[in-house]
Structure 1
Amino acid sequence: MLMSSVVMMALLTAAPAPKSQPLTWKVTGSDVTFEMSSKDLRATRDGKEVFGLQSRKKDFLASLTEGVDATQDTSDWEASQSFTVLSVVGPWVSYEDSNGGYTGGAHPYASRIYVTQDVTKGKDAFNLLDVFPEKDVLKALKADGYVRKFIGDDRKAFENAKTVEGLLASLQAGEDCVGFEYGLDNVKRSVAFHHVEGDKVAVRISFGYAAEMCRGNMYVVGLLLPIPAALKPALERASTRQEGFLMKDAKAVKAPTVQFTWEGAKAKQP
């Protein structure tokens, strides 16, 4: 049966599909509201931004041009920085910070690392060892097969370590060039929440590189940690995507990646 001309005309003139709307949610027990789109993730309190990705472009450009004279030839300079959102649990945003380029000197630079930020307290306020008992984190690190590959010559120092800092000091970078020796801050803040498994949560911890020849490398350790009672409600809401999401669902919720790029210029003639 042929389609009527009226129906066909209606199909031809139908309005285009509306653009997807930003995903918005309010963090239970707080005054924080998140808004996420394909191009940004923002958190506000009383209408004021306390976290954002796109708003970082100004600082990115300023860091590259500060102290650079217009008469200096920077035509071979370039830089880029990207932020990829990994998880959002309560007021904690975890993302991968990747940057690289060349801005003079002997060689280019490159780094990748996870960052977790508590949007209610500032950039460096989050500390995994304040959320989970250190003994649980220490036990999980000692049991991890990847970590155990890097036990140093003094195996007893590893097995007898009473703190995370002591354990990290007993590890060696190895051929993989893992920066465990600088890793206490990574354990505290370079993390993301991957998934919930029974009464435990899978946490990813990223470590940087130990030597310049390994620049740009990132190493991720996965731990299963018992969920503290105080964290259970926020994790439940994130795992069901009521408020935020976990790393395993980042692709499904279309968590954004924001990238900034910059190129130098030829020197201006005086």
Structure 2
Amino acid sequence: MTPMLMSSVVMAALFAASPAPKTQPLTWKVTGSDVTFEMSSKDLRALRDGKEVFGFQSRKKGFLEDVTPAEDEERDTSDWEALWAFDVRSVVGPWVSYEEANSGYTGGAHPYAHFSYVTVDVTKPQGKFSLLDVFPEKDVLAALKADGFVKKHIGDAEAFKKARTVEAMLETLEPGEDCVGFRYGLDSVKRSVAFHHLEGGKVAVRIAFPYDNESCRGNMFVVGVLLPIPASLKPVLERASSRQEGFLMKDAKTVKAPSIRFEWEGAESKKP
């Protein structure tokens, strides 16, 4: 039988008519837990028993409710705007780390802008997480004391040297000309972190410090430290590093970690 030949024009038409395959979310289960993650280009969700316990898109409704003026609002808000954005940086076991941005103008003397890292433990109430609960504080303190950026902001050298806790060490630092908010830094060290890569038996952790005062709003200062890995954390960090379960910050682009943006714009005043 003579084989049937199909013209390139017909083949092109058939391919064009075929619907593009839908991209399936990347899913993985956290070893030793009941947590399953689903990650797509538009969201990252954590599920327990099939119910969402963490997600980004589910926050949109609340964002719009918070920024939208009441129906009886008569002011002209056409120059008002708001942005709430999330860039996922790492997922290690049940810990999700992301960069959060809040900016805009909704009345008042000036616009607002705040950027930070946030880490949440999806298995804990309100996502409670503290770096000082999972790494020995003495190791975190030693790494911060050795950092060049931190040392440039020492205000009291003797107190800095004697400090035995992260909180006490931060109290010896000054904002400097770059306006670093070290006085708010304990919360940053606890929760404003992301896990970057593994190196020589240590994990590189990024810690984001805020600005010191409103005159320098919108700034964020990221300090990188290397922390010895406790034996209990080694397996989960290695699984994230190899992308078996989650990923580290160094691979966020490779795995196409999602960036989520919620935006709102005001409206002109209602005419009577």
Q: Structure 1, residues 155-191: CA drift from partner, whole Å, max 9, x if none?
A: 0111110000001010000011110011100000000
- Please identify, of 37-46 and 71-80, the stretch whose mean Cα deviation from structure 2 is larger: 71-80
Asked if 1:118 is matched to 2:101, the reply is no
- Please identify, of 20-29 and 243-252, the stretch whose mean Cα deviation from structure 2 is larger: 20-29
8 A contact 1:26–1:34 mirrored in 2: yes
8 A contact 1:124–1:189 mirrored in 2: no
Cα distance between partner residues in 2 of 1:128 and 1:22: 29
After TM superposition, the score normalised by the length of structure 1 is 0.94
RMSD after superposition: 1.6
> Runs of 5+ in structure 1 lacking a partner?
none
Count of aligned pairs between the two proteins: 266
Percent identity of equivalent pairs: 70
Aligned to 2:132: 129
Task: Report how far residue 211 of structure 1 moved.
Answer: 1.6
Task: Report how far residue 10 of structure 1 moved.
Answer: 3.9
8 A contact 1:87–1:247 mirrored in 2: yes
SS of the residue corresponding to residue 183 of structure 1 reads: helix
Aligned to 1:151: 154
Within a 5 Å distance, the mapping from 1:94-113 to structure 2 comes to: 94-113=97-116
Within a 5 Å distance, the mapping from 1:18-37 to structure 2 comes to: 18-37=21-40
8 A contact 1:178–1:219 mirrored in 2: yes
Within a 5 Å distance, the mapping from 1:234-253 to structure 2 comes to: 234-253=236-255
Task: Report how far residue 42 of structure 1 moved.
Answer: 0.5
SS of the residue corresponding to residue 229 of structure 1 reads: coil
Instruction: Find 1:71's aligned residue among 70, 74, 77.
Output: 74
Task: Report how far residue 198 of structure 1 moved.
Answer: 2.1
Instruction: For 2:6, give the aligned amino acid.
Output: V
SS of the residue corresponding to residue 6 of structure 1 reads: coil
Instruction: For 2:26, give the aligned amino acid.
Output: L
Taking a change above 3 Å as real, the CA distance of residues 44 and 215 of structure 1, as seen in their structure-2 partners, is same
Instruction: For 2:176, give the aligned amino acid.
Output: G
Cα distance between partner residues in 1 of 2:167 and 2:243: 34
Asked if 1:222 is matched to 2:224, the reply is yes
SS of the residue corresponding to residue 192 of structure 1 reads: strand
Aligned to 1:46: 49
> Runs of 5+ in structure 2 lacking a partner?
none
